[in-house]
Structure 1
């Protein structure tokens, strides 16, 4: 169940051989994509470990140290010698596993642990944490603060996608405007009304520019939202409904060919992938109420508001818990994705859908998160810089006055 991928050895290490690298692939596509993005940027050969977790893993993993108790071993890739020298992971479920691997291999001097996102374990358990503003982690020597999630968009991938999809979309009038739909996440709900509103404003932009739309849904897109968006379109369009493991998924082709890009504000990964193209990006705010940047509905009433039955049917516990947590919860247990939105708008990479793009503005600086993260990983294997990193990591170790499970809440 493991997969070994040979990549061009573009990275440099202290020895002639790149470090043996494992990628810990879990249940979240976004996490897996970030792990792959970092591994591909390193250019070192890597082995993919596909992992399946027990339904009870939260009870065994949340307060545990190095352990495999949360893993379904017979459905997962084997975790056995020869041990890796570098493990790249993301997500809470993988943390006990990578610490167990490090322990079995002989300790921190034998295996470097790189975690993408926000770890639940103590920060000093990892050689490098690659994080983003939404998690509001403190500044520490082993924490790399990036602008946005890592993404796999690069010039070569876009060129290949453009060559494949260009002829198929040549009949559509330009400019081409891509519309990437996410789904329900955190405080955001992509419901029927929001789907229709997105379709209305995307069509309005295409009409004003004399162009057409390239629409793609994702694994999280509710069918009723996709249906409502498609029903609202009244311009030339190509609509793709997401299908699992579909080799004909045009997502990268849309990124490559689009002249402007619209993304729903729930997905930080889609936002980063759009911004890295350095084309005009428009964020569709799914939030309602005070502080929302959602564009207004059409004055003709063609998009009716949510009915009482729709409101009741769409009630989800997650947005309620999110909002309460943002007010009363510690930073350790919450995330504020608005910080990433604000950063991209401030840097000139994006505006809110409904606002005009400043045509006279200079191009914003490119996103360099992936390259910056890869450089930080390579530094772990540089004899001088690696030794300095070990010294810095030792300095951030929390004094063990309280048990580790308690100290995690206050870092």
Structure 2
């Protein structure tokens, strides 16, 4: 079966949709949402849009499409409209913040506290980080990431968004924390930024950490070091702005420390607290444990739910 992913053009959205589709066994393609220029409705939440398909650039679904996987708020509204137009089932990822009736299945987080006969709740975001994927990445990145006998601290950096700020002042605090950790624990440190990491914050981090041996790895496509950092590190540090990055980190068996940022999100705070209670993440400090931990991966459970619904 073939799925078309509908979402705003954010890496985290595509990661979740791709991860779910591949676990189910769907082939897939993606179609990003682009607003029509000058549309006055785009300043309002998508659930309030009249005629949602008129608010965005036109979609023409592939005739191969058997199911739509919509992601996020705008993705959910557009996905529901496309499903109605084409007569296709729609699987919604994340709380659409509107009626759940148009969706065959809604995959949401426990912290969304959604209820409904078509709702399936997961502890973590959906993703494609499996043991097989990590095993494949390890030999490709081992020589680049594990350059000596020291344990490796892998650092995943996000960036500013509507809830958290990651500017120079936050970068200075993170640099101080990482520098202290490198000196106290005598580790190698490999840092990979995201597209959202500001150039100014990244420059400060490089200035402070490269003299301590910190190495910064960047790349796209096959040269993206992200999966290599997950596969080859002994412990991880992740900024608190991204449920997706934290979910991918805890899908490994590595201890995970959370790096604080300015700002607040009730939803993300609830998510992190849940993982802390399970002993799966910790506030980042020099006391971060080195012991391996349980892999948390609810994507396979969500995929089973989709297979049951689709009778696969």
Structure 1 position 62, deviation (Å): 3.5
Contact 1:347–1:364 (Cα < 8 Å) also in 2: no
Note the C-alpha offset of 1:139.
2.2
CA contact (8 A) 2:255 2:293 kept: no
Question: Quick check: 2:108–2:114 contact (8 Å CA) kept in 1?
Answer: no
User: After the TM superposition, which residues 24-103 of structure 1 pair with which residues of structure 2 at under 5 Å, given as runs?
Assistant: 24-55=6-37, 56=39, 58=42, 61-64=46-49, 67-73=52-58, 78-79=60-61, 82=63, 84-103=65-84
Structure-2 separation of matches of 1:187 and 1:101: 30
Does residue 378 of structure 1 match 2:286? no
Q: Alignment RMSD, CA only?
A: 2.5
Aligned with residue 270 of structure 1, among 245, 263, 267:
245
Q: How does 1:187-202 map to 2 (within 5 A)?
A: 187-202=163-178
Counterpart Cα distance in 1 of 2:310 and 2:223 = 39
Q: Which runs of 5+ in 1 are unaligned?
A: 1-18, 288-318, 327-334, 384-411
CA deviation digits over 1:352-400, x for unaligned, max 9? 012623567xx654313101110111111239xxxxxxxxxxxxxxxxx
Shift of 1:263: 0.6
What's the TM-score, normalizing by structure 2? 0.88
Cα contact 1:193–1:228 (8 A) shared by 2? no
Q: Tell me, which stretches of 5 or more residues in structure 2 are unaligned? A: none
Compared with structure 1, are the counterparts of its residues 96 and 132 closer, same or farther at alpha carbon in structure 2 (3 Å cutoff)?
A: closer
Q: CA separation in 1, counterparts of 2:143 and 2:294? A: 31
Q: Which has the higher strand share?
A: 2
Structure 1 residues 354 and 79, CA, compared in 2 at 3 Å: closer, same or farther? same
Give the counterpart of 1:286 among 261, 286, 292: 261
Indicate how the Cα distance of structure 1 residues 211 and 23 shifts in structure 2: closer, same or farther if over 3 A, else same. same
Contact 1:275 1:349 in 2 (8 A): yes
Residue 250 of structure 1 pairs with residue 179 of structure 2 = no
8 Å CA contact 2:252, 2:296 repeated in 1: no
Q: Distance in 2 between matches of 1:104 and 1:192?
A: 47
Does the alignment pair 1:124 with 2:124?
A: no
Paired residues of 1:191 and 1:222 also in contact (CA < 8 A): yes
What residue is the counterpart of 2:160 in the other structure?
184
User: What is the 5 A alignment of 1:9-28?
Assistant: 19-28=1-10
